[in-house]
Amino acid sequence: MKTGWLIYRKQDAERNRHNVTFYEDAAKRQGASIQLYYFENFSYGTSENGLTLFYEGKPIEKPDFVVMRADEPLFSYQLELMSYRVFNNSQVSLVANDKARTLQVVAGAGVPTPVSRVANHGSAAGIGAELGYPLVIKPRDGHGGIDVLWIKNEASLSETLQNYNHDTFLMQQPVKDLGRDLRVYVVGRQIVAAMLRARDDDFRSNYCLGGSATRYELSCEEEALVNKVIDLFDFGFVGIDFMFSDGQMIFNEIEDVVGARMLYHLTDLDVVDIYVDHILKTIG
């Protein structure tokens, strides 16, 4: 029987207990087992004999695979150096959890992205003058639309930055079709589903912030654009987010530890089952 670790932070595991159960049940149906482990209980590093890994202060038996649901690329990289099979891998985690790095990789491959600049508190005023107003600022490591803010003018930027607790961040020109975006769920190289999210009272359309969501059928051209992003990475399970400008898809970001609440609420897809199947087939 194949065995796996499901790694969450304690707080996230408690908030997503139903998702933990999905993984446990999916593995059981497929003749494997997955056990929950808390990221905070691991210690890892080096010794005179090489790399070390402990759980609750003790050595731990190596599993066949690790499902990483904590955005900790350094930890994932250590596991990989110790020959653990980690999903998502450390490179996906490293890139996807830094919005600036993600834009570099994707834009460098010719995928349309919003006009963006990497800024800090010292450079923001000059970049604001360069890009013009209104504009959007967002943290490089943000999730769920938190601290993604609409900036109307220079005075608004100055006021916002007084309490904006991020050393570096992105400043972007808004796309034309506000309050509407697309999340494409991907397992491995398979597009599982696309969900259109919309909101009339906010430029952020996140489902967790109150946006509505419906199933969306990708056109051939849109599917080709998604596959262009997929080709750049070795994904396990992610969400690739796009915005729209004059009806055309514009890449936004990649969610590494992606939630699937929309899929379970609004479709009959069991994406965790699909993901576990992908993992088991990948490890052989």
* Residue located via tokens 């993600």: 102
Task: Give the model's pLDDT for residue 207.
Answer: 47
144: left (phi over 0), alpha (psi -120 to 50) or beta: left
Q: Which tokens belong to 144?
A: 């769920």
Amino acid at position 216, single letter: Y
Q: 2-8 and 32-38 as β-strands: parallel, antiparallel, unpaired?
A: parallel
User: What backbone torsions phi and psi does residue 58 show, to the nearest 5 degrees?
Assistant: -130, 150
- Chain mean position to CA 279: 18
Q: Which two tokens stand for residue 114?
A: 């919003």
Residue 269: is its pLDDT beyond 60? yes
Mean pLDDT of 206-225: 83
CA dihedral angle for residue 109, residue 111, residue 112, residue 118, rounded to 10 degrees: -50
Question: Among candidates 190, 192, 206, 193, which has minimal Cα distance to 252?
Answer: 206
Dist CA 158 CA 150 (whole Å): 13
Q: CA dist 87 to 142, 204, 236, Å?
A: 21, 29, 5
Q: Report the first-to-last Cα separation within the chain, whole angstroms.
A: 12
Whether the per-residue pLDDT at 253 is higher than 60: the answer is yes
Residue type, 110: G
Q: Average per-residue pLDDT in the chain?
A: 94
| Mean predicted confidence (pLDDT) in 152-172 | 96
- Per DSSP, the three-state class of 20 is helix
Using the predicted structure, report yes or no on whether residue 75 has a pLDDT greater than 70.
Answer: yes
Q: What is the pLDDT of residue 200?
A: 66
For residue 201, what pLDDT is reported? 58
pTM value surpassing 0.95: no
Find, among 226, 204, 227, 207, the residue nearest to 215 by Cα. 207
Decide if pLDDT at 203 tops 70. Answer: no
The predicted-structure confidence for 86-109, as pLDDT tens digits, reads as follows 999 999 999 999 999 999 999 999
Q: For residue 211, is pLDDT > 60?
A: yes
